[in-house]
Amino acid sequence: ALEQIDHVGGTDHEAGQAVVEYLVGLGHRSIVYVYGMPGLRGRQERHYGAREIAERYPDVALHVMQFDEENGFSAAFRALVEKGIRPTAFFCAHDGLALTVVSELLGLGYRIPDDISVVGFGDYSPATQISPALTTVRMEGQECGAVGLRLLLERIENPRLPGMPARRIMIASRIIERRSAGPCKAVASVDAAEV
């Protein structure tokens, strides 16, 4: 919005773009954005960025999954497969969702990343505690805090006068490559009937 307050944050839109570029570069053409619960702005921005890049490639399909994060993945995945959608990659709105996706897919007999790649968002500590370790987007939280503190100190020393614009400072995120994402080998190997 146009609130006249200073803000330091991450680059959600650009991160969504970067993840889809990364997955397309690995050969993936059927990608699912795992939204989880709808309505949160960061998730929306990541989706918009992902969609923007997918639309640049006529052979890339970006599908969206929205479901109850507690126990809705299996039914949502089954519904996708029943529509004939055979994703080879999942981009998850946050690492917690990605852990669910990895666990559920492994339980269905998929091999990660051989059959399906999974990318998370956040680089939370569980990302390295699962097998395969999660490819994810790292938000630079310490840098956001340091920049926010510098901005606050500057505003204390030199208060913003009426009419002066507020500042928005974006700290770039980066993809951390681990083992949950890899080159697209083919259409997923588990038969739809088995899901």
Residues 6+ apart with CB under 8 A from 180: 98, 102, 112, 113, 117, 118, 119, 120, 132, 133, 134, 135
Sequence ranges of the domains in the chain: 11-139+179-188
Indicate the average pLDDT of the chain. 90
* Helix%, strand%, coil% for the chain, nearest 5: 40, 20, 45
Residues 43-65: pLDDT tens digits?
A: 999 999 999 999 999 999 999 99
Lowest mean pLDDT among 21-30, 57-66, 171-180, 185-194: 185-194
Is the pTM higher than 0.85? Answer: yes
Backbone angles phi, psi at 144, to 5 degrees: -60, -45
List C-alpha distances in Å: 109 to 10, 120, 146, 158, 186: 35, 20, 44, 60, 16
Residues 109-152: pLDDT tens digits?
A: 999 999 999 999 999 999 999 999 999 999 888 999 999 999 99
Pick the CATH number of 11-139+179-188 from 3.40.190.80, 3.40.640.10, 2.40.110.10, 3.40.50.2300: 3.40.50.2300
Nearest to 184 by CA among 107, 118, 96: 118
**Predicted local confidence at residue 186, as pLDDT:** 63
**Predicted local confidence at residue 39, as pLDDT:** 75
Residue 25: pLDDT above 60? yes
Looking at the DSSP bridge assignments, the partners of residue 8 are 169
